[in-house]
Amino acid sequence: MIFGAILAGGVGSRMNIESMPKQYLPLGDKPIFLHTLEKFLMCEEFDAVYIGTHADWVDFTKDTIESSPLANAPVHVVVGGESRNGTIMNIIKAIEADFGASSDNIIVTHDSVRPFVKLSTIKENIAAAREFGACDTVIPATDTIVVSEGGETIDSIPLRSTMYQGQTPQSFRISVLKELYEGLGEDERATLTDACKILVLKGQPVHLVEGDVTNIKLTTIMDYRVAQAMVETGIED
């Protein structure tokens, strides 16, 4: 079975908006996370889509979905974890409670604040996860990457042709992701920035899926303004 996992547990501190987390801000005529959810529900391969959100926003998320045209869609809202990967594991626990565990089950994880993901990217993630067991959505780096260990001087400049910018979705066979995560020590878990690093730390291959420059993550006020312009001009279509 194939499951979508939309990660909406963040509080959006870098956008400096006190009223609500950024995924609930309006974008056009609906909240940002609903744009993302709509994209996922366009993919007929999903058996269900789960949204992991902060405990304080579970009821708001459910009410928003129930009052939208998506009210009857196979969507489940669950409480997120203390971290990104904690939220993914909570979603996996809910999936297994609802549908049971299987070595063939696949999860497609995605940031709620990447509302412009293309349906083709979601489908390519599912295909890659089926074939390879794990994949990450990336785009080639267009700027020179500078490495500085201390933040004051340059330590190295990697060859740009080998550099990529990570996006989401990131997709996995659930059994593999769960087993490797549970095998990490606390020190290893502390270094995680995303789910793919779980596999990288354990020496497991992660296939690359080509992303798109329009699949932006709304992290700052400027990102939000760009997104509003994209919706107004129809670029996201």
Reading the chain (237 residues) residue by residue, the pLDDT tens digits are 999 999 998 775 555 555 789 999 999 999 999 999 999 999 999 999 999 999 999 999 999 999 999 999 999 999 999 899 999 999 999 999 999 999 999 999 999 999 999 999 999 999 999 999 999 999 999 999 999 999 999 999 999 999 999 999 999 999 999 999 999 988 898 889 899 999 999 999 999 999 999 999 999 999 999 999 999 987 765
Per-residue CA distances from 161 to 69, 144, 197, 210, 216 (Å)? 44, 9, 21, 15, 21
Domain ranges of the chain: 2-139+167-233
Count of other CB atoms within 10 angstroms of residue 203: 7
Q: Residue for token digits 């974008």?
A: 27
Per-residue CA distances from 87 to 27, 77, 90 (Å)? 24, 11, 5
Beta strands in 37-133 (DSSP E): 48-53, 75-79, 106-111
Phi, psi (degrees; rounded to nearest 5) at 68: -110, 170
Q: Which CATH superfamily is domain 2-139+167-233 in?
A: Spore Coat Polysaccharide Biosynthesis Protein SpsA; Chain A (3.90.550.10)
pLDDT in tens, 197-214: 999 999 999 999 999 999
Per-residue CA distances from 188 to 93, 175, 197, 198 (Å)? 21, 19, 10, 9
